[in-house]
Structure 1
Amino acid sequence: MSERVIVHEGLNVFAEHAEKWNSLLERAGNPSFFLRADWLNCWAKHWAENRKTMLVVVERNGEWIGGLPLILGKGRIGARWKVQKLEFAGVPFYDRMELPAATAKDCERSLELILQWMQRDLKSWTALGLHEVPNGSHTLNAFKSISRKRGFELHTVLASKAPLLDLHGGGKTSSKYRRQLRQSMERLMERGKVETDFFSVNSQDIESLIQECSAVESVSWKGKQGVGIFRNEGFRKFMLDVWKILAPEKGIALATIRLDGNLIIYHWGFRHGDRFLSYNMAQTPETNNIRGGSLILNLMVDKGLELGFSRIDASRGSLTSPNVIGRYHGPIRDHGNLVVYGPGLKSRGLSFLRHRALPIIRKLRKLPRPPVLEEKSEITDLPCTNESA
C-alpha cells in the first residue's frame, strides 16, 4: 500500500485541483461547506496574496484519502503573540472546518502523515492554529489520538456553540416566547405596511440586495462596532463574488422584513444539502426593541421547508450571547480551537509562556480560565441528507 503526502502551492491551487478535492469531499460526506473548492478559490483571490497557500493531501494508490487547505503567514496565537502561523485557508470567514476523509481511520492516518511532513519538511512555522473544529468529529478525535501516541502537546479550548433546529419537528418553544413573537409583530405592523419573505437569491438581484443588506448592517450594532460582514469595500467585494458563484445553484437564501418597502431586518446564509447555514443577520436600530432577530428566524422556521431546507444550523455561535436558534431547544454542536506547536526553539518558548506561565499568573490574579472543551467521541449534531458540494 503506497501512501504519500503531496503539497500543492499557489493562489490558484484550489481551482487547479478542484475536481479531485471535491471528489474527496463527496466521499467524506461533505463535512463543511467551507471546504468547497469554489469557496476556497474565491477566498484565495481576495485574501491570500501575502501568504503561502497550500493544499496538502495524502494519496494512497493514486487516490486522495484526506487533506487540509492551509495558509502560512503572520497570525495571532492567543491575543498577544503574532507569529508565523499555519491555519485553515478561508480564515476568518469559515464557521466550521474539518479534515475531510471517508473514514475515521483515513482521517487519522492522513493527519498523522501531514503532521510528520510539517515537523520534518515545512520551514519557518511557529504554531498550527485551527479554529472551529467540531467536538467529537473525526478530525478532533484524530488529533487527540495522535497526540497520545506521538507524545506531542495538543491544546484545545471551547470556541463556540452552534444550536440546530430540525424543521420537520418545528422545535420546542415556550408559550411565553410565542406570545412575545405575536406581540412584536403586532407592534411592528402598527408602524406601517410589513412585508416578509424568505427566498433563494437570483443572480440578477445580487448587487441590489447586497447594497440593501450593507446599508442595514452599517447602522446596526455590527456596523457601529466595525464587525459586520459588509464592513468595508474589501469585505463587500468578497461577499459579492461569493454570492455570484453560489446564486445560480440557489446556494444563497435570504430572509427579509420590510416596513413600508424599506428593508429593516435581514438574515442570510448558505445552502449546504438540506441545511440552511446561518451566516449574517442585521437589523436597524428602531427594531431592537421588537425582537427583530427572533421575528425573522420565526419566518425562516415557517417557510424553510418550502425552500427545501430540513435543518437550520447556526453554523457557529457565541459563548457569551447564545444564538437565537437555541430558543427552539434543538441539539447544540460544540466547536473547539486547537494549537500544535512547531519544532523550533521559538515554538517551545511560546508554548511554555502560554500553557505553563500564564495559567500560574491567571491563578494568582484570580482571572477566569479559558472555556474547557469537554471530552466527546461523537458530534452532537443532526443528520443531514443530500449534501452536495
Structure 2
Amino acid sequence: MNERLEWQTSLCSASFPAAAYEALCKRSAQSTPFNSLAWLRAAEQALQHGCTLHVLLLWQGDRLIGCLPLVRCPLRLLGMTVHEVRHLGHPLSDRIGLLVEVTNPYLLERALKAIRRRMPHARLQLNELPAIAAHQDLLGHWAMQSWQSEARTSCRVPEHRLSEEDRQEATGDTRYELRRARKRTQACGAIVERITPDGTTIAQCLQTLEAVEAASWKGDNGVGIFSPGPHRDWIIRALTSLAAEGHVRVVQLSLEGRCISYRLGLLDRGRLYDYNIAFLPEFASLGSGRLLLDEWFRWGLDEGWNYIDASRVSLHQSNHQLHERMTGQVEHLRWSFYSRRPSGVALGLAYRLWLLVKPALRAWRNRHATTRVGRSAVKQPSC
C-alpha cells in the first residue's frame, strides 16, 4: 500500500487531519493525555520566540499511521548557538507516547532524513518516553543513523494497580499517617471533596487551585504550573480543553468552603495521572497530601479506574507518597540523537566530556559540603 510523508506547520489549522489524529491516539496503547490535541494545541500557542513547529505525518493510503509534532529551538552552548529538535510539549508533558504505527524500517529512515532536511539540528531529543518495546523498535533504527545516540533513564514513576484490597485500611506507617491526618482534619472541621470540572466550571476551579498554589512554596519559588511565565497560559488552555472533554479530576480539602489543599489529576482510559499538588503553608501539619492520595484510590474504586499513576517524579530522592503503596513502576527514557553535522559532533563530544567530569565534580561538592559541616560543628573558643 502507498506510504507517504506529509508536513504541516500547525495543529490548529483547518488543514490538519484532527479526526485521523484522534483515531490514531485511540488505536495507540502508549498514548497519554499529553498526546491529546487539547494539550498539544495549547503547547503550540505557548511556543517561545525563535522556536518553530513542524508536524510530520505518515500516511498509509488514507490511514494516518504516524504523527510527530516537533519543535526546532535554538540552544546556547559555550557562547555558540546550535539547534535542537524536541517533541512538542517539553517540558510540561509528563509522559508521551510516540504515535507511530510503522513496521517498515525504510519508512523510518525516510522519516529521519526528512526531519534532518527540513529541520537541520545538532541534536534530536525526546523526553519522557516509556521504556517499551514499541519505542525501542522505532528509535533503534534512528540510533543507527546517528553519529551518537543515548537512551538515558530520566525517572521511574510509581504506579498503583487498583483492586478490591484497596477498600481495606492501609498497613504499616501509611495507616498511622492516614489515621493521624483524618483525626486532624476532623478536629478542625475540614472535609474532602471530589470535583469533576467541565467546560463551564473549569475556569472557577482553576482560579481556586491557582490561589492555593500561589500561597504555597511553589508560588514563593515561582515553580508552580500556574506561576507567571510563558507556560501559564499553556496550562490554563490545556486544562480548560481537557475538562471540556471530561479528563480533569480534582480532590481537595476544604475548610469552611475554602480550598486549603488539592491534588489535580488527568484521567485517560482508566489511568489517573496525578499531575499537581499544592497546599496552604499554615495547614501543612494536617498531612493532607497523603489523605487526598487515598481519596484518589477510593474514587477510582467507585468509578472503575485501573491505575493511579504518579505521572512524573524526580530520578533521585523522589518523595512522592505513591511510593508507599505502589505495585509497579514505569521507567521514562530520554532519547538523544546527535547528527553528523559539525554542530552535532561538537555537541556530542561536549556531552561525553561532561559525563567524564560530572562524577569528579559531584565528589568534590560532597567533600566540600562535608568539610563545611565539620567546621561548623567545631566549637568556637570562648573569650
TM normalised by structure 1 equals: 0.84
SS in 2 for 1:258: strand
Tell me what 1:163 maps to.
158
Matched, 1:249 2:260: no
Tell me what 1:195 maps to.
191
SS in 2 for 1:16: coil
Q: 1:290: Cα distance to partner?
A: 3.2
User: For the residues of structure 1 that align with 2:180 and 2:359, how far apart are their CA atoms?
Assistant: 47
Counterpart contact for 2:178–2:291, Cα < 8 Å: yes
The 1:170–1:72 alpha-carbon spacing in structure 2 relative to 1, beyond 3 Å, is farther
Tell which deviates more after alignment, 156-165 or 302-311.
Answer: 302-311
Tell me what 1:46 maps to.
46
User: For the residues of structure 2 that align with 1:76 and 1:133, how far apart are their CA atoms?
Assistant: 25
Can you list the C-alpha shifts for 1:205-258, whole angstroms capped at 9, x where unaligned? 222221111111112121122110110165443333223322233211110101
Amino acid at match of 1:300: W
Can you list the C-alpha shifts for 1:302-345, whole angstroms capped at 9, x where unaligned? 12233442221112212222421121131100101121112311
Counterpart contact for 2:146–2:340, Cα < 8 Å: no
The 1:362–1:232 alpha-carbon spacing in structure 2 relative to 1, beyond 3 Å, is closer
Gaps of at least 5 residues in structure 1 are: 369-389
Amino acid at match of 2:236: L
SS in 1 for 2:214: helix
Superposition RMSD in Å: 2.7
The 1:233–1:74 alpha-carbon spacing in structure 2 relative to 1, beyond 3 Å, is closer
SS in 2 for 1:332: strand
SS in 1 for 2:120: coil
Tell me what 2:125 maps to.
129
User: For the residues of structure 1 that align with 2:337 and 2:113, how far apart are their CA atoms?
Assistant: 12
Tell me what 1:346 maps to.
343
Tell me what 1:264 maps to.
260
Matched, 1:153 2:141: no
Can you list the C-alpha shifts for 1:368-387, whole angstroms capped at 9, x where unaligned? 9xxxxxxxxxxxxxxxxxxx
Alignment of 1:85-234 (within 5 A): 85-102=84-101, 105=103, 111-119=108-116, 121-148=117-144, 150=145, 152-170=147-165, 173-190=170-187, 192-232=188-228
User: For the residues of structure 2 that align with 1:81 and 1:281, how far apart are their CA atoms?
Assistant: 38
Amino acid at match of 1:128: L
The 1:137–1:253 alpha-carbon spacing in structure 2 relative to 1, beyond 3 Å, is farther
Counterpart contact for 2:182–2:291, Cα < 8 Å: yes
SS in 1 for 2:59: strand
The 1:131–1:58 alpha-carbon spacing in structure 2 relative to 1, beyond 3 Å, is same
Counterpart contact for 1:341–1:351, Cα < 8 Å: yes
SS in 2 for 1:10: coil
The 1:110–1:283 alpha-carbon spacing in structure 2 relative to 1, beyond 3 Å, is farther
**Alignment partner of 2:285 out of 282, 289, 303:** 289
Matched, 1:328 2:325: yes
User: For the residues of structure 2 that align with 1:227 and 1:362, how far apart are their CA atoms?
Assistant: 26
Tell me what 2:18 maps to.
18
SS in 1 for 2:293: helix
Larger Rg: 2
TM normalised by structure 2 equals: 0.85
Counterpart contact for 2:146–2:338, Cα < 8 Å: no
User: For the residues of structure 2 that align with 1:64 and 1:210, how far apart are their CA atoms?
Assistant: 35
User: For the residues of structure 2 that align with 1:279 and 1:292, how far apart are their CA atoms?
Assistant: 16
SS in 2 for 1:211: helix
SS in 2 for 1:215: helix
User: For the residues of structure 2 that align with 1:332 and 1:82, how far apart are their CA atoms?
Assistant: 37
User: For the residues of structure 2 that align with 1:81 and 1:158, how far apart are their CA atoms?
Assistant: 28
User: For the residues of structure 1 that align with 2:309 and 2:236, how far apart are their CA atoms?
Assistant: 22
User: For the residues of structure 2 that align with 1:81 and 1:200, how far apart are their CA atoms?
Assistant: 48
User: For the residues of structure 1 that align with 2:146 and 2:42, how far apart are their CA atoms?
Assistant: 38
How many residues align? The count is 361
Q: 1:137: Cα distance to partner?
A: 4.2
Q: 1:65: Cα distance to partner?
A: 1.9
The 1:241–1:179 alpha-carbon spacing in structure 2 relative to 1, beyond 3 Å, is same
Tell which deviates more after alignment, 46-55 or 126-135.
Answer: 46-55
Q: 1:5: Cα distance to partner?
A: 2.2
The 1:180–1:312 alpha-carbon spacing in structure 2 relative to 1, beyond 3 Å, is same
User: For the residues of structure 2 that align with 1:353 and 1:134, how far apart are their CA atoms?
Assistant: 27
Can you list the C-alpha shifts for 1:331-365, whole angstroms capped at 9, x where unaligned? 1001011211123111111111111x223323554
Tell me what 2:370 maps to.
none
Can you list the C-alpha shifts for 1:6-55, whole angstroms capped at 9, x where unaligned? 21113635972212212222232352221112321222123366422121
The 1:173–1:335 alpha-carbon spacing in structure 2 relative to 1, beyond 3 Å, is farther
The 1:310–1:252 alpha-carbon spacing in structure 2 relative to 1, beyond 3 Å, is same
Counterpart contact for 1:68–1:88, Cα < 8 Å: yes
The 1:337–1:367 alpha-carbon spacing in structure 2 relative to 1, beyond 3 Å, is farther
User: For the residues of structure 1 that align with 2:331 and 2:109, how far apart are their CA atoms?
Assistant: 24
Counterpart contact for 1:254–1:268, Cα < 8 Å: yes
User: For the residues of structure 1 that align with 2:62 and 2:203, how far apart are their CA atoms?
Assistant: 43
Gaps of at least 5 residues in structure 2 are: 365-383
Tell me what 1:380 maps to.
none
SS in 1 for 2:89: coil
